[in-house]
Amino acid sequence: MFTALSTQRYLKHMRSHRYLYYILLGNCRRWPLTYSQFDNATMATSATKRCLSTSPIREPSVGQMDVGSRIKRVSIEGNIAVGKSTFARLLQKAGQDWEVIPEPVSKWQNVEGTSQTSASNLLDMMYADTPRWSYTFQTFSLLSRLRTQLQPPPAQLLHSSDTPVQVYERSVYSDRYIFALTMFQLGCINATEWAVYQDWHSFLLEQFGRLVQLEGIIYLRAPPETCMTRLGMRGREEEKGVKLDYLQKLHSQHESWLIDKTTVLHSEKLKQLPVLVLDAGVGFEKDPKVQEMLITQVKGFFKSI
């Protein structure tokens, strides 16, 4: 629990970081105060306690911090329709000490509106008018991924006797170095927007870097033509206009980042992350032997990082 003193220190820190204040504000659905009202320490202490009691961000116990510090964090990276969701479900079934966190697609499809407006499908808006909505989408995508990666681990991981692993379907890093970068190179995000996005991204990782940093990456690799076929098979309405040349561009970005190591990264540690490359071009969805082979490789990778 937060004491009055620790809460006041927390708020003093938050006042010096307005961006972080607004991020936490988004998590506190019943926050009753405006920013200017934070000068009243008594009101702020009471409001913060109420917010923290309903927010998923909680202060862990000493034992939880010890376990949390040994949780390994790994992301699954790969092209659109490469098979990430199918592979993620496979991993979830294979390890009791593994938690697989899906990509927050539903949040992009249902951005909450105000009392005057209905919810918006930002994913559909981005594909329908990419130059208009790319920057908005990438900013919201980054924020939703950050929130996902900042969620506290579930009880089964905190009480795990083995080494627990959290696996994310993509990460805040691919958001920048694959998708936002591609939109900038295609001219859908202009130079000013790209500069603002990078500054925003770097600032957030400076503040939360230790909490979202990865120990490894699983790269599901498949030809863009295979991804295009799978894209048509899954039939997601928003993606009906996606073309092969876009998937080819995304494939090249993944290769530059994870294979050739030529992407300019903001962090030296990120450059040195171990990468497990898996052949996702094979039909692993219904082949138990292929699935077993992939899981064996993943288990070995988790032990090595």
Q: Using CA atoms, how far apart are residues 274 and 89, in angstroms rounded to an integer? A: 22
255 counts as catalytic: no
Residues in Cβ contact with 85 at an 8 Å cutoff, skipping those fewer than 6 apart: 102, 103, 169
φ, ψ dihedrals at 249, nearest 5°: -65, -45
Burial class (CB in 10 A: 0-12, 13-18, 19+), 243: exposed
Distance CA 181, CA 138 (A): 10
Residues 6+ apart with CB under 8 A from 240: none
Question: In the numeric block, which tokens belong to residue 84?
Answer: 């990430």
Q: Rounded to an integer, what distance in angstroms lies between the CA atom of residue 252 and that of residue 254?
A: 5
Give the DSSP H or E segment for 221: strand 216-221
Of 77, 103, 169, 193, the active-site residue reads: 169
Rounded to 10 degrees, what is the CA torsion of 268, 222, 94, 90?
Answer: 120
- Six token digits for residue 65: 């911090």
Residues 6 or more apart whose Cβ sits within 8 Å of residue 266: 198, 201, 202, 205
| Residues catalogued as catalytic | 169
